[in-house]
Amino acid sequence: MSANETEIFPSRPETVLEAGRAGADYWREVWRYRELLGFLAWRDIKIRYKQAVLGASWALIQPAITTAIFTFVFGRLAKMPDGGVPYPLLVLAGYIPWQLFAGALNGASGSVLGNSQLVSKVYFPRLIVPLSALAVALVDFVIVLGLFLVAALWFGFVPDWHWIALPVFIFLTLLVALGGGLWLSSLTVKYRDFRYIVPFLLQVGVFVSPVGYRTDLFPRWRTVLALNPLTGIINGFRWCLLRGSQSVDLVPIGYSLLLTAILLATGIWYFRRTERQFADII
Amino acid sequence: MAAPVIEVSGLSKRYVIEHESRHDNLRDMLHHTARKLWRRVRWGTGFAREEFWALRDVSFSVNQGDVVGIIGRNGAGKSTLLKILSRITEPTTGRVRLRGRVASLLEVGTGFHPDLTGRENISLNGAILGMSRAEIRRKFDEIVAFAEVEKFIDTPVKRYSSGMYVRLAFAVAAHLEPEILVVDEVLAVGDTMFQRKCLGKMEEVSKSEGRTVLFVSHNTAAVQNLCRRALLLESGRLSFQGGTSDALARYVSSGATTGGLAIDKQVVPGGSPVRCTRLTVNGDASDRIAVPNAIEPLEIVTEVRVTAPVKLSLNVFLCDRYGNKLALCSPGHDDDGTSVHAVTPGLYRLAARVTLPRLLRGQYLLDLALVQPYVAQYTTFPCAIELTVDSSGLSWGRMFENAGVPVGFMVVPGRITAERIADL
């Protein structure tokens, strides 16, 4: 019998389940479930664009209107300095990382609760749920990036070689959003009213972060502004997309890296600590 | 003999219920914490924390190719056990050792999305249940054929009939190829033909491919058919493991009837205008009735308190000793006032004479309900009365017992009478 058996089951992974055991091969498990991660992202993207009549154009309308309003308020009314860049482009270049961050944070925060059906009925490393939410935000991001390119052509301000560093800043944006999203998604499972914190954070954040204005012209406020991890990131995006016309200031970027690392490390720690109870309390 | 594929030792799962503690939001939580601290300062105690052991020191092992049934009443810990085995929740103490890929099916169609098409849902659900992309592609046609939904494969599943939906969902699950399959009560849905097909598929898979299956069901006939071994759980403890017939026999005898009063088994839905105050069968108020001869009709008498105008009648299900329904005794649509009575608030005595089909010797359960047939169920006695048939002249018939053949027929009762005995 045993010879036959080995034929049928060439490899038989052994699993031991015990209290507090889940940690052992955590990252290998996440890797093993990468296909499910892909499927969940694909599902969310599909559903997002399936029912909406406006489809992808929805992702364009929002940044277009925001850009127009911010240009009017900050550029015309407040007469903020533009440093020689067409003001709409300045705003859009800041709005792109902001939208990526907002979409990713919002998606990741609600992701575990939104998938409670799965969480209470099937096993998988829970981390892939907030991870898959990042993918959806990335799709919207690509669309808005397209909008930026069209606008840049229109204003005759086409990005040059500086864009090469863009992937680094995109990655950094996703990491900040993930760090916050991990905290908020596990807190939301435990205390439902954390759901209401996210819209508030985003509402305030769009003004606190330098989306509608540039910071390199206010050296006095540099340190305060740099306490927001998005300041360094948004500056970085402007550097990449606006031909380096915004100088890259290493202080905010350093702060960004540090804050991101802290947020992400504690986020992963807290998420892993609570995820084993998700099925019991969700 | 190879090592067992599932080894469970000393498994326990504790849930803590903290009274006065339904805080789902931050404000409640802070408020609660403050009150707790105050109490501790003032009285030296916090709130009562009640521990609830859903599973207590359960140990067993399962060999490769075994199909093991898990039976027990609601709340006995079956689902908790399956949740631990499928890694959804962690045990509090104890250990499980699994050798092989585990797929668990705690629900049909987990992760199905109504807006996605059948084709898309097959991929998604397959991935959720642990299939690889290549595996899904390879089995796709087979799954579609099994589900019999070829024509609608590119239609969003929200437009499917519930039957099609369940068939598709189960078809995906039936094509899983794990070494260990954990199945909860999923066969309770779907039409009988399809249930049969699924049972057939599961049986075929476990026999020909040596797959190990753990199977929870209230459908005792299915457990009997499919499983050679069974585990019986009673309030979190493993009270018996062994042959399925023995386990089922113990399950039944441990069971519903206690020798108490039948009336205590009443289940009244909230807000029901009808409540039974007295119930006798052949003049006996106990929940264990001996019937010397099954040819004699049963006399069922209930006294009923009615608080709103309703149309009232009595349904009786005859069930086998596992609770599978065998025959329904109901006046049906008969609405001419001979057996279904329009009553105003008051106390009534409702009496029925039920002639049972000729029964084999053995134990049966009666499932009673005060109803308006096909419209409303006012109060029920689910499998509340055990009927022991001592002799019936039919003793040759053990062959039908446990054959798992669904038997169903309807017995039209003699007239059901209603008599007003008092005002409220």
How sure is the predictor about A103, in pLDDT bands with cuts at 50, 70 and 90? very high
Query: Which tokens belong to B75?
Result: 């709340």
Backbone angles phi, psi at B101, to 5 degrees: -70, 135
CA A44 to chain centre: 15
**CA-to-CA separations, B12 to A20, B67, B70, B331, in angstroms, rounded:** 14, 23, 16, 49
Q: Which residues of B touch A192 (CB under 8 A)?
A: 24-25
The set of residues, in sequence order, having a beta carbon less than 8 Å from that of B137 and lying 6+ positions away, is: none
Which residues are B314's β-sheet partners?
Answer: B370
- Residues from chain B that touch A184, judged by Cβ atoms under 8 A, are none
Q: Are strands B93-99 and B237-243 parallel, antiparallel or unpaired?
A: unpaired
* A60-68 contacts at long range (C-beta below 8 A, 24 or more positions apart): A60/A143, A60/A144, A60/A147, A62/A99, A63/A92, A63/A95, A63/A96, A63/A99, A63/A144, A63/A147, A64/A147, A66/A91, A66/A95, A67/A91, A67/A92, A67/A95
Distance from CA of A33 to the nearest CA of B (A): 8
Lowest mean per-residue pLDDT among A63-67, A181-185, A258-262 = A63-67
| Contacts A116 to B, Cβ<8 Å | none
Find all residues with CB under 8 Å of A254, minimum gap 6, and list them: A232
B404, pLDDT greater than 60: no
Q: A43, A45, A186, A276: which to substitute to probe chain B, counting the most B Cβ within 10 Å?
A: A43
The residues pairing with B380 across neighbouring beta strands, listed in sequence order, are B267, B369
Q: Alpha-carbon distance A98 to A210, whole Å?
A: 9
What pLDDT, on a 0 to 100 scale, did the predictor assign at position B334?
A: 61
B:175-194 residues touching chain A, CB 8 A cutoff: 179
Report pLDDT digits (tens) over A222-255. Answer: 778 888 889 889 988 988 988 777 777 788 888 8
Which residues in B lie closer than 8 A to residue A22 (C-beta atoms)?
A: 90
CB pair distance less than 8 Å for B23 and A191: yes
Number of neighbouring beta carbons within 10 Å of residue B93: 14
pLDDT of amino acid A8: 42
**Residues B185, A277: Cα–Cα separation, whole Å:** 24
What average pLDDT does the segment B206-234 reach?
81
| Least confidently predicted of A63-67, B33-37, B239-243, B390-394 | B390-394
What average pLDDT does range B78-101 have in this prediction? Answer: 89
Q: DSSP string spanning B158-169?
A: GGS-HHHHHHHH
Q: Which of B402 and B242 is assigned the larger pLDDT?
A: B242
pLDDT of residue B351 exceeding 90: no
Contacts of A16 in chain B (CB under 8 A): 95-98
User: Is A35–B133 a contact, with Cβ atoms under 8 angstroms apart?
Assistant: yes
Look-up: residue for tokens 């045990």?
A: B91
Chain A and chain B share a number of CB contacts under 8 A equal to 115
Mean pLDDT for all residues in chain B: 79
Q: How many helices (H) and strands (E) does chain A have?
A: 13, 1
Report the DSSP beta bridge partners of residue B288: B386
Residue B144 vs residue B202, higher pLDDT:
B144
- Record: contact A22-B90, CB cut-off 8 A: yes
Q: Using a CB-CB distance cutoff of 8 angstroms, which residues of chain B are in contact with residue A14?
A: 97-99
Best residue of B26, B66, B179, B207 to probe chain A, by most A CBs closer than 10 Å: B26
First vs last C-alpha separation in chain B: 71
B4 in reach of chain A (CB within 8 A):
no
Cβ–Cβ < 8 Å for B127, B133: yes
First to last CA, chain A: 44
Inter-chain CB proximity B97 and A14 less than 8 Å: yes
- How many other CB atoms are there within 10 angstroms of residue B92's CB atom? 18
Query: Other CB atoms closer than 10 Å to residue B42's CB: what's the count?
Result: 8
- Which residues lie across from B55 on neighbouring strands? B13
Q: Which residues of B touch A46 (CB under 8 A)?
A: 116, 120
Q: What is the pLDDT of residue A95?
A: 92
For residue B86, list chain A residues with Cβ-Cβ distance below 8 A: 122-123
Helix, strand, coil shares of chain A, percent, nearest 5, are 75, 0, 25
Top-confidence residue, B187 or B209:
B209
Summarize pLDDT for A127-138 with one digit per residue, the tens. 999 999 999 899
Residue whose pair of structure tokens reads 């669904």 in the numeric block? B406
Q: What is the pLDDT of residues A201-214, one digit of tens each?
A: 999 999 888 888 88
What per-residue confidence (pLDDT) applies to A54?
66
- CA gap B314, B334 in Å, rounded: 12
This complex has an ipTM of 0.81
In this complex, do A47 and B86 lie within 8 Å of one another by their Cβ atoms? no
Give B320's pLDDT tier (boundaries 50, 70, 90): confident
List, for residues A186-203, the tens digit of each pLDDT value.
Answer: 999 888 888 888 999 999
Residue of A nearest to B94 (CA): A18
Report the alpha-carbon distance of residue B55 to residue B236 in Å, rounded: 4
Distance in Å, alpha carbon of B182 to nearest chain A alpha carbon? 11
In chain A, whose CA is at the least distance from the CA of B127? A36
Q: Is B207 on the interface with A (CB under 8 A)?
A: no
Strands (E), A100-238: none
Give the neighbor-by-neighbor strand order of the sheet with B49-62: A14-18, B93-99, B6-18, B49-62
- Residue B141: which pLDDT band, with cuts at 50, 70 and 90? very high
Would you call A191 and B2 a contact, using CB atoms and an 8 Å cutoff? no
In this complex, is the C-beta atom of B210 within 8 Å of any C-beta atom belonging to chain A? yes
pLDDT for residue A163:
87
Q: Which of residues 46-105 of B touch A (CB under 8 A)?
A: 64, 83-102, 104
- What is the least distance, in Å, from the CA of A122 to any CA of chain B? 6
Is there a contact between B97 and A16 if contact means CB atoms under 8 Å apart? yes
**B159 inside 8 A of chain A by CB:** no
The dihedral sign for the CA sequence B170, B174, B179, B185: positive
pTM over 0.80: no
Q: Do A39 and B124 touch (CB under 8 A)?
A: yes
Residues of chain A with Cβ-Cβ distance to B91 below 8 Å are: 17-19
pLDDT tens for residues B233-284? Answer: 988 899 889 998 888 888 776 655 566 788 887 877 777 889 999 999 888 8
The pLDDT confidence band at residue B55, using thresholds 50, 70 and 90, is very high
Judge: A5–B26 Cβ closer than 8 Å, yes or no: no
Q: How far apart are CA B155 and CA B168, in angstroms?
A: 12
| Least confident interval from A139-148, B83-92, B199-208, B340-349 | B199-208
How far apart CA A18 and CA B11 sit, in angstroms, is 9
Residues of A in contact with B80 (CB under 8 A): none
User: What angle is formed at CA A132 by the lines to CA B126 and CA B160, rounded to 5 degrees?
Assistant: 40
- Quote the CA–CA distance of B198 and B215 in Å, as a whole number: 13
Distance CA B394, CA A163 (A): 90
Pick from A39, A117, A279: which is nearest to B88 by CB?
Answer: A279
- In angstroms, the CA A14 to CA A61 distance is 52
Q: Determine the Cα–Cα distance for residues B307 and B303; give it in Å rounded to an integer.
A: 13
Q: What is the pLDDT of residue B407?
A: 47
* Set of chain A residues whose Cβ sits within 8 Å of the Cβ of B121: none
Among partner residues B25, B96, B210, which is closest to A191 by beta-carbon distance? B25
Q: Tokens representing A12?
A: 């038989």
Dihedral sign computed on CA atoms, order B62, B65, B71, B75: positive
Query: Considering all CA atoms of chain B, what is the largest pairwise distance in Å, rounded to the nearest integer?
Result: 74
Contact A20 B90 (CB under 8 A): yes
Q: For residue B93, give the chain A residue with the closest CA.
A: A19
Q: In this predicted structure, what is the pLDDT of residue B31?
A: 74
| Average confidence score pLDDT of chain A | 85
Instruction: Tell me whether residues B91 and A19 touch, CB distance under 8 A.
Output: yes
CA distance B169 to chain A (A): 14
Q: Which of B257, B231, B259, B254 is nearest to B244 (CA)?
A: B231
Q: Which residue do the tokens 């006095």 mark?
A: A220
- Given a contact cutoff of 8 angstroms between Cβ atoms, the answer to whether B368 and B316 are in contact is yes
The pLDDT value recorded for residue A261 is 95
Asked if pLDDT for residue A1 goes beyond 50, the answer is: no
The pLDDT-based confidence of A275 (bands split at 50, 70, 90) is confident
Q: For residue B174, what are its two tokens?
A: 């039936």
Q: Chain A: nearest CA to B116, how far in angstroms?
A: 7
For testing contact with chain B, the best of A121, A194, A198 (most B CBs within 10 A): A121
pLDDT on residue A63: 87
According to the model, what pLDDT value does residue A10 have?
45
Yes or no, beta carbons of B94 and A43 under 8 Å apart:
no
Residue B392 has pLDDT above 80, yes or no: no
* Contact (CB<8Å) B26/A193: yes
Residues 6+ apart with CB under 8 A from B424: B305, B307, B345, B346, B347
**Under an 8 Å CB criterion, which residues of A touch B?**
1-2, 5, 8-9, 12-22, 35-36, 38-39, 42-43, 46-47, 50-51, 117-124, 191-194, 276, 279-280
